[in-house]
């Protein structure tokens, strides 16, 4: 009997099966990482907005303009993040809203209902929800003065 040189058909099929299993595992892990990344991105954006709101309130208090805190509820909470930064590190205006306040992709603020909306790129990362919402609210003290603002998640 003459021995065949190189791989036989069976060995080739085994190698293909191993590569197929490894590729499937890799793609599943990459999908899971994309979901985790988007969830973290949303969480950090909401934290940054809340931090920006707190800084604006603190600025008004430091300047002795506590009455201005109540007026902040009329502003777009996305404005508290600051301008979008481009690749060169410079602020980039939103092309669709030249001169208007910059917005983030996927994010929308409805001023009439004071709700912030996010449409996920991967709804599966958020339990199949295709829209996430937060309400922009003010908090008052016992005298009825606005003393704080924040985003509250809506179900």
**1 lies in a domain?**
no
Pick the closest to residue 107 from 51, 48, 32 (CA basis).
48
Cβ atoms of 80 and 103 within 8 Å: the answer is: no
Q: For residue 150, give every residue at least 6 positions away whose Cβ sits within 8 Å of its Cβ, in sequence order, or none.
A: 50, 53, 136, 137, 139
**78 lies in a domain?**
yes
d(CA 8, CA 12): 6
Positive or negative: CA dihedral 56, 138, 123, 112 = negative
The whole-model pTM stands at 0.72
Q: Domain range holding 127?
A: 10-154
**5 lies in a domain?**
no
| Beta-bridge partners for 109 | 116
Per-residue pLDDT of the chain (155 residues; tens, 9 = 90+): 666 667 788 999 999 999 999 999 999 999 999 999 999 999 999 999 999 999 999 999 999 988 888 899 999 999 888 765 444 444 444 444 434 444 566 899 999 999 999 999 999 999 999 999 999 998 888 988 888 898 999 98
Looking at the structure of the chain, the number of domains it has is 1
């Amino acid at each position: 009997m003459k021995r065949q040189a190189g791989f036989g058909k069976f060995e080739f099929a085994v190698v293909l099966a191993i590569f197929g299993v490894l590729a499937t595992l890799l793609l599943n892990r990459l999908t899971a990482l994309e979901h985790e990344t988007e969830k973290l991105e949303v969480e950090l954006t909401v934290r940054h907005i809340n931090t920006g709101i707190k800084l604006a309130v603190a600025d008004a208090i430091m300047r002795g303009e506590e009455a201005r805190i109540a007026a902040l509820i009329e502003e777009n909470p996305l404005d508290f993040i600051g301008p979008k930064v481009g690749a060169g590190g410079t602020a980039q205006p939103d092309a669709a809203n030249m001169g208007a306040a910059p917005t983030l992709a996927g994010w929308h603020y409805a001023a009439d209902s004071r709700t912030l909306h996010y449409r996920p790129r991967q709804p599966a990362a958020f339990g199949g929800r295709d829209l996430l919402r937060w309400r922009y609210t003010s908090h008052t003290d016992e005298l009825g003065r606005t003393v704080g603002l924040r985003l509250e998640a809506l179900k």
